[in-house]
Amino acid sequence: MRGFAGMLVVLVIGLFVYKFYFTSGQAAVRPAAMVQTVDVIGVKNDLLGIAQAERVYQAEHSTYGSLDDLVSSGAMAYKKTGRQGYTYDAEASTDSFRITARCTGAAPAGCTNFAIDQTMEITAAQ
């Protein structure tokens, strides 16, 4: 009986060590990748929102506007200057616009720049 109880204790300790060893290594890797994915999705949603504000501004003023113009006209609630790891920049003219999300120095390796224009398509930017 003592031999069986000893084997059971060793087995439980072994399973605990096995579970702790393999799950602790994965937990450190997964959240970072998930956070980066969430940031990219947020950046793309921001670009779509800013592009929609450009459309509203263009309908009211017959031209596209800068980020400051979008905010001051009420087409956009507040100026979106960026998101963690990205900064936003707008180039506007009478008949076109281009909103660019550029990676900053704090961005993770492999960060991709994105852009959107009047076609409302998000593309990788230079």
Sheet containing 82-83: give its strands across: 82-83, 86-92, 97-103, 114-117, 122-124
C-alpha to C-alpha distances, 56 to 63, 67, 98, 103, nearest whole angstrom: 10, 13, 15, 27
Asked if residue 105 has pLDDT above 90, the reply is no
Residue in 68, 43, 65 with CA at minimum distance from that of residue 54: 65
For residue range 32-55, what is the model confidence (pLDDT) as tens digits? 555 566 688 889 999 999 999 999
Asked if residue 18 has pLDDT above 90, the reply is no
- Cα 118 versus chain centre, distance: 21
Give the per-residue pLDDT at 95.
93
- The full set of domain ranges for the chain reads 2-124
For residue range 2-13, what is the model confidence (pLDDT) as tens digits? 788 888 888 888
